[in-house]
């Protein structure tokens, strides 16, 4: 159960697993990491915790995949303005996430847990509804302003949930491979959420009408609330079972936390690689509706392509875990990056070969995507554990910077694709798809194939410079 500290003690030293001796409470023990992880989370606790990823997958997928298309092809917003509209809220995110990470650490010191901030984030469901319920009288600039304001509010609420949620596994008293297992459950649930939403959302808005987007958002918002409530209880149970590493003894400013994290030679290259990876995958999601509508010629294939992309990702988590056990997380992650790069290049001629070839490549990309997500987040936990071993852990600060990086990627990806559309002279409309000049079609295809391939090559460049696995991986683990 949650550790209750007598009045004369400070409730800031973390919790030992339920049933642990008093001597272990309040210590910065890393024996789980050293031994390969004597503490193991129960499946029930992991399933409850992972429910949060089901709901949060809605926010990741729906705006990431549909918002740019919704703006250009339903609200009549030009591609350049639409790209800026999606970018500005993420600039706010880049500042807010580290600040919320520091706040999360303060909450942990003051209350012994981070669930208060987590609960605030449940209001995200209302922001999703508002985002896609644009008043009928607004189009063009007015519609862009509505989307920009509601998207900013939604991103801040998402950060309130995501920062403490991602921090939870990083501060558990578990070892190297158990951290991967914890994140495997989370990533499996996230992928199921992405898959269900990625297939259902395009079908629900197939008519392209404003009302269809609004109805879909309300249905998905209800799902987010239910899964979020389950996750809050799951976080409590998981931390009670495994115990948590102690938050910092003293508070630090946001800038001090950011400087500490960015000076971490284990963390910095991993963070840069993840920034580029997140940019690449979110560019891919934003581009799918354009690719199916203008290259394949059938908007209904958006659901098919998303199903092919995310379906395999639900199943291959254990395969990536096995690969990381055999060869280490670093090599496994670089393999996933290389597979995604190859798949993007393969999509260039796939448009001429037809839907079947595109679906096959989407399956390959989905397999790679599962590895990218699982192993990146697992190595985030390793970076926090390494900082703890040096006596300087600030789990909330690290997670805040990490989620800020993810948020930046979610903006940069669609923005880069919108920029490609603008350069190509893509025509915006309020009536669904519109005839496009050949230059726009060329840039649309390049933005979906060559551009993400080049970005993933950059991610590989940064990942090669990460030495975290060399210092933190146990040679033999039971």
pLDDT at residue 350, as a whole number: 62
Instruction: Report pLDDT for 475.
Output: 47
> What mean pLDDT is predicted for residues 359-363?
90
73, pLDDT greater than 80: yes
- The tokens for 26 are 């309040």
Q: What is the homologous superfamily of the domain 39-241+252-471 according to CATH?
A: MFS general substrate transporter like domains (1.20.1250.20)
pLDDT attached to residue 19: 46
Domain extents in the chain? 39-241+252-471
Residue 129 has pLDDT above 90, yes or no: yes
Give me the mean pLDDT over the 245-272 stretch: 73
Residue predicted with more confidence, 112 or 295: 295
The predicted structure's pLDDT at residue 392: 58
How far apart CA 143 and CA 51 sit, in angstroms, is 33
**In the predicted model, what is the mean pLDDT of residues 417-442?**
79
Residue 2 pLDDT class (50, 70, 90 cuts): very low
- Span 434-474, pLDDT tens digits: 678 888 888 888 988 999 999 999 999 999 988 877 765 55
More confident residue, 474 or 176: 176
What is the pLDDT, as a whole number, of residue 394?
A: 64
Does residue 6 carry a pLDDT above 60?
no
Rounded to an integer, the average pLDDT of 311-320 is 83
Say if pTM beats, i.e. exceeds, 0.85.
Answer: no
Asked if residue 33 has pLDDT above 50, the reply is no
Exposed, middle or buried, 360 (CB in 10 Å: 0-12/13-18/19+)? Answer: middle
Of 330, 364, 370, 323, which is closest to residue 462 (Cα–Cα)? 330
Query: pLDDT digit string (tens) for 224-251?
Result: 999 999 998 988 888 888 877 666 555 5
The answer on pLDDT for 389 being more than 80 is no
Give the whole-number percent of the chain exceeding pLDDT 90.
Answer: 22
Q: Above 90 in pLDDT, residue 393?
A: no
Cα separation values, 33 from 17, 19, 248, 390, 476, Å: 14, 19, 19, 13, 12
Distance in angstroms (rounded) separating the CA atoms of residues 459 and 413: 14
Residue 301 pLDDT = 82
CA distances from 197 to 37, 225, 456 (A): 35, 15, 25
Residue 103, pLDDT above cutoff 80: no
- What are the structure tokens assigned to 188, written together? 């499996």
What the block records as the tokens of 93 is 């995110």
pLDDT tier for residue 308 given thresholds of 50, 70 and 90: confident
pLDDT at 8: 35
The mean per-residue pLDDT over the stretch 185-210 comes to 84
How high does pLDDT run on average in the chain? 80
Residue 21 scores a pLDDT above 90: no
Out of 109-113, 260-264, 367-371, 455-459, pick the least confident.
109-113
Q: Which residue has the higher pLDDT, 391 or 138?
A: 138
């Amino acid at each position: 159960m949650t550790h209750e500290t007598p009045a004369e003690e400070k409730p800031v030293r973390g919790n030992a697993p339920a049933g642990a001796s008093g001597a272990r409470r309040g210590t910065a023990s890393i024996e789980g990491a050293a031994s390969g992880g004597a503490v193991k989370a129960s499946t029930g606790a992991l399933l409850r915790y992972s429910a949060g990823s089901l709901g949060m997958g809605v926010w990741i997928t729906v705006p990431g995949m549909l918002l740019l298309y919704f703006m250009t092809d339903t609200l009549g917003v030009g591609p350049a303005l639409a790209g800026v509209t999606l970018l500005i809220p993420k600039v706010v995110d880049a500042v807010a996430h580290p600040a919320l990470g520091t706040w999360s650490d303060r909450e942990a010191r003051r209350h012994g847990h981070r669930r208060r901030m987590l609960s605030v984030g449940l209001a995200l469901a209302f922001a999703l509804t508002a985002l896609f319920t644009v008043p009928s009288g607004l189009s063009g600039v007015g519609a862009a302003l509505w989307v920009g304001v509601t998207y900013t509010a939604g991103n801040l609420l998402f950060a309130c949930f995501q920062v403490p949620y991602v921090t939870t596994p990083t501060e558990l008293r578990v070892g190297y491979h158990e951290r991967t297992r914890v994140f495997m459950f989370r990533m499996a649930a996230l992928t199921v959420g992405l898959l269900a939403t990625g297939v259902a959302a395009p079908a629900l808005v197939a008519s392209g009408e404003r009302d269809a987007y609004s109805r879909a958002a309300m249905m998905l918002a209800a799902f987010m609330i239910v899964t979020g409530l389950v996750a809050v209880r799951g976080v409590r149970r998981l931390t009670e079972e495994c115990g948590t590493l102690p938050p910092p003894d003293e508070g630090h400013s946001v800038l001090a936390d950011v400087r500490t994290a960015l000076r971490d030679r284990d963390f910095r290259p991993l963070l840069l690689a993840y920034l580029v990876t997140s940019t690449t995958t979110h560019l891919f999601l934003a581009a799918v509706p354009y690719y199916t509508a203008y290259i394949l010629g059938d908007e209904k294939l958006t659901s098919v392509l998303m199903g092919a992309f995310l379906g395999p990702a639900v199943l291959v988590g254990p395969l990536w875990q096995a690969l990381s056990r055999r060869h280490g997380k670093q090599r496994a992650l670089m393999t996933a990056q290389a597979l995604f790069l190859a798949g993007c290049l393969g999509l260039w001629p796939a448009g001429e070969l037809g839907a079947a070839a595109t679906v096959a490549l989407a399956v390959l990309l989905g397999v790679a995507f599962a590895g990218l997500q699982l192993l990146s987040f697992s190595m985030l936990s390793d970076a926090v554990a390494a900082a703890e071993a040096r006596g300087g852990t600030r789990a909330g600060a690290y997670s805040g910077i990490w989620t800020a990086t993810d948020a930046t990627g979610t903006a940069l990806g669609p923005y880069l694709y919108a920029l490609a559309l603008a350069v190509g002279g893509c025509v915006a409309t309020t009536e669904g798809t519109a005839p496009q000049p050949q230059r726009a079609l060329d840039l649309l295809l390049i933005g979906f194939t060559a551009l993400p391939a080049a970005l993933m090559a950059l991610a590989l460049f940064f990942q090669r410079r990460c030495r975290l696995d060399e210092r933190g991986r146990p040679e033999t683990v039971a």
